[in-house]
Amino acid sequence: MPIDRLLASDVERLAHGLYRHRALEFPRWAELGLPDPEHGLDPQFLTALLEVTGGALSHQSAAHLYGIPLPPWLADEPDLQITGPGPELRSRRPGITGHRRPLDPADLVLHLGLPCTSPERTWLDLASLFRPGQEAHLVAAGDHLVKHPWVRGGRMEPVSTPGDVERALHRVGRFKGVRLARAALPRIRVGADSPTETLVRLMLVDAGLPEPELQVHATALDGDAYPADLGFREAKVALQYDGEHHRTPEQQLIDARRDAWFERHGWIVIRITVEDLHDDLRDVIRQVRARLSQPARLPPLDHPARRVS
């Protein structure tokens, strides 16, 4: 493009070698339903940068687009992460980390208008960032991809499925973090609405308890209005994690109705707080273990027993 065209009033310079037409409008992160990323770059800058480099957002930057929860030491990464085959990714632009490698077409998608690695490829890339012993965080990231999220009072389709993640793992073959990915994949479950629910489930299982169900209803009918985060149906134990949003008066009223619903059906409700997590769920595990050791409870009769003559 001629230099005088780049100096025109209808052209805006974004960075060295990056320009855009002022008439083009790009959404902000809030309009896309996402918080501002740590790298601080807006979608219009990313669009221009990715077009120049021929790369795709990956690792933490792609995780941001999918809303994948990450522990602080990964979520706070300030550098933009881009993957692609082009030599432009070797450029020394400050604040950008380039991962130079070819991307299989199956690993490249357009999400929210931006080229990025697929959900499954992103999860595999995240596996390379965790150390041994941090498997639970990778499982939580996987649970996020396969959950059916709440949107306007209803459940939507998941971003991915355990089967899709497994197929991507087999297709990619060997890579840094493959052992951790192979260990985490069988522990991914559909139904965890938050990373904390995933961590609670894994802590219970690692303590030697049976694996709890997710999104458990008090009765066999899915029409129950108040599902528990986790539960043991035969022992009638409902586990609820009370996070930050449970502190509002509105949510506390909903929680009280939910607990009463379970108790009317003969369940006990164990509410878990952040203090329990800091204590490795010791008291929660003790309560669940004691309840599981008791004789099985028969469901209540709908009608009084009749004498047969």
Q: Taking the domains of the chain in order of start, what are their residue ranges?
A: 191-296
19-40 average pLDDT score: 75
For the segment 206-220, the average pLDDT, to the nearest whole number, is 90
Model confidence band, residue 302 (pLDDT cutoffs 50, 70, 90): very low
| Backbone phi and psi for residue 143, each to the nearest 5 degrees, phi listed first | -60, -35
Band (pLDDT 50/70/90 cuts) for residue 121 is very high
The predicted-structure confidence for 86-119, as pLDDT tens digits, reads as follows 755 655 567 888 898 888 999 999 999 899 999 9
* pLDDT tops 50 at residue 304: no
Provide the percentage of residues in the chain whose pLDDT is more than 70: 80
| DSSP H or E stretch at residue 220 | none
DSSP state of 147: S
- What residues does 2 pair with on adjacent strands? none
- Answer yes or no: is pLDDT of 296 > 90: no
Confidence of residue 305 (pLDDT cuts 50, 70, 90): very low
249 vs 67: which has the higher pLDDT: 67
What mean pLDDT do residues 192-214 have? 96
Pick among 3.40.50.2300, 3.90.180.10, 3.40.960.10, 3.90.1150.10: CATH of 191-296: 3.40.960.10
Choose among 159, 58, 64, 39: nearest CA to 115.
58
Residue 220, token pair as written in the block: 């066999």
For the cut 80, the answer to whether the pLDDT of residue 230 exceeds it is yes
Average pLDDT, the chain: 84
Model pLDDT, residue 87: 57
Residue 207's contacts (CB-CB under 8 Å, 6 or more residues apart) are 281, 285
**Which ranges of 54-98 does DSSP label H, i.e. alpha helix?**
59-66, 72-75
List of long-range contacts for 36-40, beta carbons under 8 Å, 24+ apart: 37/61, 37/64, 38/75, 38/76, 38/77, 38/78, 39/78, 39/79, 39/80, 39/95, 40/78
Please compute the mean of the pLDDT values over residues 59-77 and round it to a whole number.
Answer: 94
Between CA 82 and CA 123 the distance in angstroms is 15
Please name the amino acid found at residue 155: R
- Asked if the model's pLDDT at residue 265 lies above 90, the reply is no
pLDDT beyond 50 at 309: no
Q: Which two tokens stand for residue 266?
A: 């003969």
Do 169 and 122 form a contact (C-beta atoms < 8 A)?
A: no
Quickly count helices (H) and strands (E) in the chain.
12, 13
**pTM score, whole prediction:** 0.84
Query: What is the 8-class DSSP label of residue 176?
Result: T
